[in-house]
Amino acid sequence: MPAAIVAEQLSKTFRVKVRGAGLRAALGALVHPRYRDVHAVREASFAIEPGEIVGFLGPNGAGKTTILKMLSGLLYPSGGRVRVAGFEPWTGGAAFKRRITLVLGNRQQLIWDLPPEETFRLNRAIYDVPEPEYPERLAELVGLLDLAPLLDKPVRQLSLGERMKCELCAALLHRPSILFLDEPTLGLDVSAQDAIRRFILEYRERYGATILLTSHYMQDMTTLASRVLMINRGRLLYDGALDALVARTVRTRRLELVLGPGVSAESLAAFGTLRSYRPPHAILEVPREEAAASSARLLASLPVADLSIADPPIDEVIRHAFAEGAEPEEDGG
């Protein structure tokens, strides 16, 4: 089966006006405008198979959303090639747009003054969803997303989480096979985030959809993405499983201990780097390859009630990975 999404040497450069502060600079910019090129995406290449869930990882301004917008046909790339569902996105026309959906966490298509069902009905007409199938599809999405109590409330009266659930419903009525989700859990509380994640997994299970998502919440990545693309300053730094990224980036593991009576900080420090010491709890960091041996020695030498081996928190791992992959700012003139 051919890849659902292929990007080769994909690049996007924005030309932005440069203007200093103050009246003199403002007047000067009128006479001699100056520009600089901002390389939002630089020669990114990747292929995504049908049914995969892939997460884009990266700090603000890394180029994640720009890539999603190019893949969905909103932006014309400055260079490179893209095929999505067999189409070139910006020339694919209506046939391409029926195959995809784009959900933007902070720019929604729901009609603000009307109940969400009116947006659903509009999308039924725009996407030409067959009349007999519409009630069935709507009922399915309403059930999965638990939307029944929201259908007749004006969108402006819904909470952020309720709006995102309705947004997903509006975006999926035409049953797209490729989903571009930009920050789908942005600003939601923990239970709303969890509901969205469960829904995304369920949709993929039912329809075998290919899903690309960006998120700043690591929980989204660990729960949903079987593979991550790490991007920083427009450059793809890593493409692979999250576990492998952790193993590659992190050279230590954590021994999380519940101590017995009388174990001092000094005695623990002999086994590794002591990260935290709040008796009866303590955290030791040891070289990754020595984790098992250190644990055995520790249990034999000191009164330890409980011991577990863990990787450092994922946010810390990602921060570390970005720090390693970081490179100097490089903007053209």
Partner 1 sequence: MSAAAWARRYGALMRNAWMVDLQYRAAILLWVLWGLAEPAIALGIWWTIAGPAEVGGYDQAAFARYFFGVMLVNQLTIAWDSWYLDRWIRAGELNFRLARPLHPAHEAVADNIAYKVRTGSLMLVVWLFVALAWPAARLPFDPAHWALGAVAVLLAAAMRFCISFTTGLLAFWTTRATAIMELHSGISLFLAGRIAPLALLPPPVGALAGILWFRSTLAFPVDLLTGSVSGTGPLLRGFAGQIVWLALWILACRLVWRRGIVRYGAVGG
Footprint of partner 1 on this chain (CB under 8 A)? 14, 65, 69, 72-76, 93-95, 97-98, 100-102, 104-109, 111, 113-114, 118, 121-128, 182-183
- Distance separating alpha carbons of residues 258 and 225, to the nearest angstrom: 32
Within 8 A by CB and 6+ apart from 221, the residues are: 55, 57, 215, 228, 242, 314
Q: Is the N-terminal amide bond of 280 cis, ω within 30° of 0?
A: yes
**Closest distance to partner 1 from the beta carbon of 260 (Å):** 53
Closest CB to partner 1 among residues 128, 324: 128
Nearer CB in complex with partner 1: 102/255: 102
Helix axes 134-145, 160-172, angle to 10 degrees: 150
Query: Per the structure block, which two tokens stand in for 332?
Result: 């053209």
Alpha helices by DSSP H, listed for 9-63, are 23-31
Query: φ, ψ for residue 213 (rounded to 5)?
Result: -135, 150
| Cα separation, 320 vs 1, whole angstroms | 36
Taking the complex as a whole, the smallest distance from the CB of residue 72 to partner 1 amounts, in Å, to 6
Spatial separation of the C-alpha atoms in residues 14 and 12, rounded to whole Å: 7
Closest to partner 1 by CB, 1 or 94: 94
Report the residue number, 84 or 242, with the smaller CB distance to partner 1.
Answer: 84
Taking the CA atoms of 231, 191, 196 and 73 in sequence, report the sign of the dihedral they define: negative
Of 128 and 315, CB closest to partner 1: 128
CB of 66 to partner 1, least distance (A): 8
User: Minimum distance from CB of 118 to partner 1 (Å)?
Assistant: 6
Closest distance to partner 1 from the beta carbon of 138 (Å): 15
Q: In sequence order, what are the residues at sequence separation of 6 or more whose Cβ sits closer than 8 angstroms to the Cβ of residue 201? A: 53, 223, 224
For 140, the token pair is 């399915």
Closest contact distance (angstroms) between CB of 62 and partner 1 is 14
Query: By C-beta, is 156 or 281 nearer to partner 1?
Result: 156
Minimum distance of partner 1 from residue 111's CB (angstroms) = 6
Our CB check for partner 1 shows the closer of 103 and 229 to be 103
